[in-house]
Chain A
Amino acid sequence: MSISKAQSLLRRASQTDDRLSRHLFVAAAIQEGLELMAVIVGGTAEEYWSSDDYHQTDLDLCASIGPEHHATLRTLGFARSGRHWEHGASGVAVEFPESEIDGDLSRTRTLTVGSGSVTIIGVEDLYVDRVRQATADNNDYGRFQSAFAIAVAQYEWIDWKYVQGRLRDLLVSDPIVGVASRAVDSRIRRRVRRLLTGVPPAT
């Protein structure tokens, strides 16, 4: 285990003013220190892909974390606080919501961060997640804006055939959410196309 390398990354995190960068350093430290793949999902992934200031509350990592990793986390300066592991020096709260991502591992992006690296969920899978969430939570406007921001930032480069395939699968596994998700996706793509082709917004 490269504990010293992980500690070095955590020191960089503590010294970084930028919130997104700090989260990336902590994610890299966890991958390094625990020697496992920890895929960034949630708000940190959204901020990365949308280039927008999302103000994520925590760092969500999908990783197979077990009790055997807890001692190492404590050695690295993390303390348990409810569902989070809090790194006091950097002020980053880490949650491990799932052991695996809901999506295609081959679409994740690997970035070099300092002396380490991070793995971020693919933009298509993140977009599908946000679209699905926009249909839940009583049609949460914030979730819609999240999906919209991702589409605006990455429209030309998202694999829309893959996205449509995932939404078709959702129609089978959960028809109610599937129908609502397709409607949200359609609305978003129409709005983004109008934006990018210079159609003035409706008044």
Chain B
Amino acid sequence: MNAVEIGIVLGRARRQAGVSQGELANRLGTSQPAVSRAESGVVMPGLDFIDRWAVAIGIPITLTMGAGAVPDDRDLKVRVEQALGGYTFDPWRRNPSAAERRSLQRDGLTREHFQSAVTAPTR
């Protein structure tokens, strides 16, 4: 696990416990920016700090080392789709050239195809 991954785990645990960064900082005897840096992955926290974090929020924290692998494409795709909330990029809004239009149409990615999808305004 890298610092960013650990930071996500720490942040998730803190939110689950309903504790603000400021309150956790008080409990840990540190500053709110220090808590923020740990959650942002700017610094790699030591095991002792992580242990005190878990005690301070009252929730056990589990770190899985050596799992190593990036989630597979399908998991990432789901994550991104959920994050984008139905937004679909419409290539026809970018005034494709003749060659680009032929390429899109070959795959059925016509103007009409995107008009029925959820798209976003350009502003």
Q: How far is the CB of B100 from chain A (nearest CB, A)?
A: 4
A82 to B123, CA, bound (A): 29
Q: Tell me whether B104 and A57 are in contact (CB under 8 A).
A: yes
Q: Tell me whether B8 and A58 are in contact (CB under 8 A).
A: no
In this assembly, does A69 line the interface, its C-beta being within 8 Å of a C-beta of chain B?
no
In this assembly, does B33 line the interface, its C-beta being within 8 Å of a C-beta of chain A?
no
A-B pairs, top 4 by smallest CB distance, nearest first, are A91-B106, A57-B100, A93-B99, A197-B11
Q: How far is the CB of B11 from chain A (nearest CB, A)?
A: 4
Q: Tell me whether B11 and A193 are in contact (CB under 8 A).
A: yes
Q: How far is the CB of B7 from chain A (nearest CB, A)?
A: 8
20 more contacts with CB within 8 A, not counting A142-B93, A145-B87, A197-B11, are A52-B81, A55-B89, A55-B104, A55-B109, A58-B99, A84-B99, A91-B107, A92-B103, A93-B99, A93-B100, A137-B122, A141-B121, A142-B90, A142-B122, A153-B76, A195-B83, A197-B8, A197-B12, A199-B15, A201-B85
Task: Bin chain A's interface residue count.
Answer: 35 or more
In this assembly, does A117 line the interface, its C-beta being within 8 Å of a C-beta of chain B?
no
In this assembly, does A51 line the interface, its C-beta being within 8 Å of a C-beta of chain B?
yes
Q: How far is the CB of B84 from chain A (nearest CB, A)?
A: 6
Q: Tell me whether B80 and A58 are in contact (CB under 8 A).
A: no
In this assembly, does A66 line the interface, its C-beta being within 8 Å of a C-beta of chain B?
no
In this assembly, does B60 line the interface, its C-beta being within 8 Å of a C-beta of chain A?
no
List the interface of chain B (C-beta within 8 A of A): 2, 4-5, 8, 11-12, 15-16, 39-41, 70, 73, 76-77, 79-81, 83-85, 87-91, 93-94, 96-100, 102-104, 106-107, 109, 114, 120-123
* CB-based nearest A residue for B12: A197
| A81 with B70, Cβ < 8 A, contacts A56-B91, A57-B103, A197-B15 known | no
Q: Tell me whether A81 and B99 are in contact (CB under 8 A).
A: yes
In this assembly, does A198 line the interface, its C-beta being within 8 Å of a C-beta of chain B?
yes
Q: Tell me whether A57 and B107 are in contact (CB under 8 A).
A: no
Q: Tell me whether A84 and B97 are in contact (CB under 8 A).
A: yes
Tell me the total A-B contact number using a CB cutoff of 8 A.
Answer: 120
In this assembly, does A152 line the interface, its C-beta being within 8 Å of a C-beta of chain B?
yes
Q: How far is the CB of A3 from chain B (nearest CB, A)?
A: 23
Q: Tell me whether A160 and B41 are in contact (CB under 8 A).
A: yes
Q: Tell me whether A55 and B123 are in contact (CB under 8 A).
A: no
Report chain B residues within 8 Å CB of A43: 91
Q: Tell me whether B84 and A86 are in contact (CB under 8 A).
A: no
Q: Tell me whether A196 and B8 are in contact (CB under 8 A).
A: yes
Q: How far is the CB of B5 from chain A (nearest CB, A)?
A: 5
Q: Tell me whether A153 and B100 are in contact (CB under 8 A).
A: no
| A193 with B96, Cβ < 8 A, contacts A91-B102, A91-B103 known | no
A53-81 contacts to B, CB under 8 A, are 53-58, 81
In this assembly, does A135 line the interface, its C-beta being within 8 Å of a C-beta of chain B?
no
Q: Tell me whether B77 and A52 are in contact (CB under 8 A).
A: yes
Q: How far is the CB of B41 from chain A (nearest CB, A)?
A: 7
Q: Tell me whether A138 and B89 are in contact (CB under 8 A).
A: no
Report chain B residues within 8 Å CB of A145: 84, 87, 89, 120
